[in-house]
Structure 1
C-alpha cells in the first residue's frame, strides 16, 4: 500500500478514474484494502469507456464496441498518485489513471496520452513548455426552474448584477473559497488569484505557471471536478459550461504558455516588447490551427452560444499585443516573462485535448518557421477577419479534415472524437432549451 494511504488511515475507499474524450471521469470505487493491487497491476475496463458520449452512452458504429468485441484496456496509475477528494463526506482518495494496450502500448484514444505525445515532441527538440490556465465558472442556484445566483451564506442576499473585481462578491462566498483553497493545497493544485468576473455569480481562479504540461492539464481537470463537487457540498452548483446565461458573459479558459530551451531560457524573449522570431512562429502555428481545432476549444452544443461578437470571447482569427479582443494575445510585462495567451477555449473543454491542441499548434509553427500576419490593433470585432467555425457541425467537419490536426493527434483519436460529436449533435438537436441547460450544467 502507498505511503500516502498509510499516512491517511481514515480513508476507507478509493476511486480510480481516467479522463474520457469529453473530460468526464470514468472509473470505479474500490475498498482501500485492495488499493495495493491497483497500484501494482492497474485495473481494466473497456477501451470504449474513454469514448462515450456526454450522456455516457456507447458511440454507434464505433470500432471500439461491437466490431472489436468491446475489449478491455489496462489502466495504470499516472505519476500523480493518490489525492484526497475533499468534496465527499467520507474520507476518500482518488487515483488518476491512463489507458494502455495489453502489450504496454499507450491507447491512442486516451486524451492524456495525446498530450504526452506533444510533450515528447518538445523534449526531442530540447524544449519545455511552461503552462498556466485561467478558469472561469459560475456559482448557481439551480434549485428552481430558473437559474439564479445563490444567496450569500453570510448575508442571505443574492447579487443583483455583475460586479467585476469586487471584493464584496468574493467575501459573500468566503466559506466556499476558503474550503476551495484548502482543498487545492491538499490536492497539490497550484490555485493562485481569485477574482469576481463580469457575469452574475461568475468567478475566475488562475492556476500557476509550471514547466510540466501534463501536470497543468491534470490540475485543470481535477480543479473542475473539485469546484463542482465542493459547490454541491455548500448547497449550490458550480458550472464551467460555456454559456449558462444568455445575457451574461460565457465561461472561458485561457491558456498562457512560454517555452524554455535546454538551458532554461525563454525562447520567446528577445529583450524587448516585440518578442522573438520563435514567438512569432508559435503565434503563426496557433493561428493556422484554429479553424480545424475549433471543436477542441468549443466541444459542445452550448459552446457556440459563447462565441459571438462583443461578448468577451474571440470570434476572429487574429493576434495582437495587449488586446483582449484577439484570439491570440501577447501580454506586456517583463521580456523575460514573454508569453502567449490563447483565448479561444471555453470553460467546458477537455484540458488534455485543449493543451495538446495549443502546444501542438505552436510546435507546428516552430517546426515550419511560419510567419504570422501583422498583429491587429483596435477592436477585433470591428475588423474583416477570417472567422472561427460558427456552428458545431462546421467545427466537426473542419476538425475531421484539418491537416494541422492530423499533425497533432493520432488518427484513432480523431476518428473517435468525430464519431462522438456527430452522435451528440444529432441528439442535441432534439432537446429543448431547458434540457440543454440540464445536460451541461453539471457535466462539463
Structure 2
C-alpha cells in the first residue's frame, strides 16, 4: 500500500471530530483550504457532538432549539495531515477538537472531556502514561451487506473459512499476512505505534496492542485512528471488520483494555515504591476506580449490544475487583519490572469511545488518590466466582444510563454539560431500540398467539 509522506495541496482532506459514540463527524475538502482551517477552524453545529448513534438530533440535550443550533469551532489537533493509505484516491486526514465560539472548550466534546482530566493531573505535577489494547473481528465482506457476521476465509478467499476458535494461533495470522502487512504499513504512515498482533479466542478475532505513550490525548487519537484504519484496510482486502462488542452470541466479545501508570515531574513512576505490592498511590487509584466503576459503566459499555459481553462465563468482569497478575479481575496489576508498575483496566468493550474510556479511567483513579481511598483485599483465584461483591456492575443498559446520569462524582470530574448531553443521547437510543420489534419476537409469537 503506497503512502505519500509529502503534503500535496491537490489531495482531498478529511477533517473530523468524534461524536460521543466515537463516530467521525466532519467535512471533506480540498487540502488547499487547510491554512484557512488552521486560522479560523471548521464550523459545525455543536449538536453534532451529541447526535445519537444514527446521526439524529437529540432534542432533549439542550444543544438544538435552545441555542438556535449554533455552531462550534473545530480546530486541528496536529500540525500536519496524515495520509489515508487505503483510499482509492489520494487523501489525507486530520483530527480536530471542538470549541465554543468564544474560544472556550466545548465540554461535551469527548476529546475535551479527556483533556479536562489530563489537565487536572498536570495541575498535580503528574503525567499519565497509557496504552490501549483493541480487539476486533475480521469478517467476510458480505457481512456488511446482509448485516450479519460471517467468518472470513483464510488467504483472502482462497482457503478454508474459519469456523472455530484458534486463540494465539500464528498460522491463523499467516492466512491474513497481506492484510496485517498493510495494517502495519498504514500504522507507520499515520504515526500509530502498533506493537503485538494476537489471534484471539473467536474465529477471525484479533487483538492489536498499541504502544504506551505519555500523553493520554495521543493515546485516544491513536485508538480512534486505528479503528478507522482497520475498517478501511479490511475493505481494500475484500473483508469487513467490526469492533462491535458482541457480534457472535456464542463467541468471545471484543474488549478494550487500558494500561495506566503515572509519572511525577522527575519521570518516576509513582505507582512503584520498590515493593511487589506497589505504592500507596497505586492502591488509592485502584480503590477509586472500583468505587466509580458502576456509575462509569455507560462509558465502558455504551450500547445495547455492549451488555452481551457481561454474562457468566463470558470472560468479562461483572463486578469491580482487583488483583495481582489475575486475568479474571476488572483491574489487574500485571507482573512487571518495578519501573513499569501499572494498572490494566479490563472492563471496556471495543465499541466504546476511546476518549471517554480513558477519561473515565483517569477520573476514577484521581478520585481514589484525592480521597486516599483503600481497596478491599486483592482477589486470588477466580474473581467471577466471588459472592456478594461490593461493587456489582450494571448488567442492563437502562440501569447504566440512570447511574451515569445521577453521578455527582462524574459531573464534578467530567462536567455537567458532558453528563447531560451523553445521558440524553443514550436515552434516545434506548427508546429507539426499545420501540423495535425483534425478529425473534415474530418467530416466537406471530403464528402461535
When normalised by structure 2's length, the TM-score is: 0.93
1:230 is matched with which residue: 224, 230, 233? 233
1:149 is matched with which residue: 148, 151, 158? 151
What displacement does 1:63 show? Answer: 1.1
- Secondary structure in structure 1 of the residue aligned to 2:213: coil
Does 2:420 correspond to 1:415? yes
Does 2:187 correspond to 1:188? no
Q: Is the 8 A contact 2:130 2:261 kept in 1?
A: yes
Q: Is the 8 A contact 2:130 2:212 kept in 1?
A: yes
Aligned to 1:175: 178
What displacement does 1:80 show? Answer: 5.5
1:323-402 mapped onto 2 (5 Å cutoff): 323-384=326-387, 385=389, 386-402=391-407
Unaligned runs of 5+ in 2: 441-449
Q: Is the 8 A contact 1:361 1:404 kept in 2?
A: no
The alignment of Structure 1 onto Structure 2 pairs a total of residues equal to 432
What displacement does 1:212 show? Answer: 0.6
2-structure distance, mates of 1:10, 1:248: 46
Q: Is the 8 A contact 1:299 1:349 kept in 2?
A: yes
Aligned to 1:440: none
What displacement does 1:232 show? Answer: 1.2
2:288 is matched with which residue: 275, 285, 298? 285
- Secondary structure in structure 2 of the residue aligned to 1:170: helix
2-structure distance, mates of 1:253, 1:214: 16
What displacement does 1:403 show? Answer: 2.7
Aligned to 1:425: 430
What displacement does 1:424 show? Answer: 0.1
What does the per-residue CA deviation read over 1:108-138, in whole Å, with 9 as the maximum and x for residues that have no partner?
1101011111111111111001000000000
1:122-271 mapped onto 2 (5 Å cutoff): 122-141=121-140, 143=142, 145=146, 146-153=148-155, 155-271=158-274
CA RMSD of aligned residues (A): 1.7
1-structure distance, mates of 2:271, 2:43: 43
Unaligned runs of 5+ in 1: 436-444
What does the per-residue CA deviation read over 1:397-426, in whole Å, with 9 as the maximum and x for residues that have no partner?
000111321232110110000110000001
Kindly report structure 1 stretches of 4+ aligned residues shifted beyond 3 Å: 430-435
Aligned to 1:37: 36
- Secondary structure in structure 2 of the residue aligned to 1:293: helix
Aligned to 2:85: 86
What displacement does 1:433 show? Answer: 5.5
- Secondary structure in structure 1 of the residue aligned to 2:258: strand
What does the per-residue CA deviation read over 1:144-197, in whole Å, with 9 as the maximum and x for residues that have no partner?
655221112254221231111111111110100000000000000000000100
Aligned to 2:446: none
1-structure distance, mates of 2:421, 2:428: 11
1-structure distance, mates of 2:327, 2:77: 36
1-structure distance, mates of 2:437, 2:236: 29
Does 2:6 correspond to 1:22? no
Point out the more displaced range, 72-81 or 177-186.
72-81
- Secondary structure in structure 2 of the residue aligned to 1:153: helix
What displacement does 1:5 show? Answer: 9.3
- Secondary structure in structure 2 of the residue aligned to 1:7: coil
What displacement does 1:363 show? Answer: 1.0
2-structure distance, mates of 1:433, 1:87: 36
1-structure distance, mates of 2:405, 2:74: 28
When normalised by structure 1's length, the TM-score is: 0.94
Q: Is the 8 A contact 1:46 1:71 kept in 2?
A: yes
What displacement does 1:202 show? Answer: 0.3
Change (3 A) 1:161 1:335: same
What displacement does 1:431 show? Answer: 3.7
Change (3 A) 1:425 1:404: same
Aligned to 1:272: 275
Aligned to 1:307: 310
Point out the more displaced range, 180-189 or 308-317.
308-317
What displacement does 1:32 show? Answer: 2.0
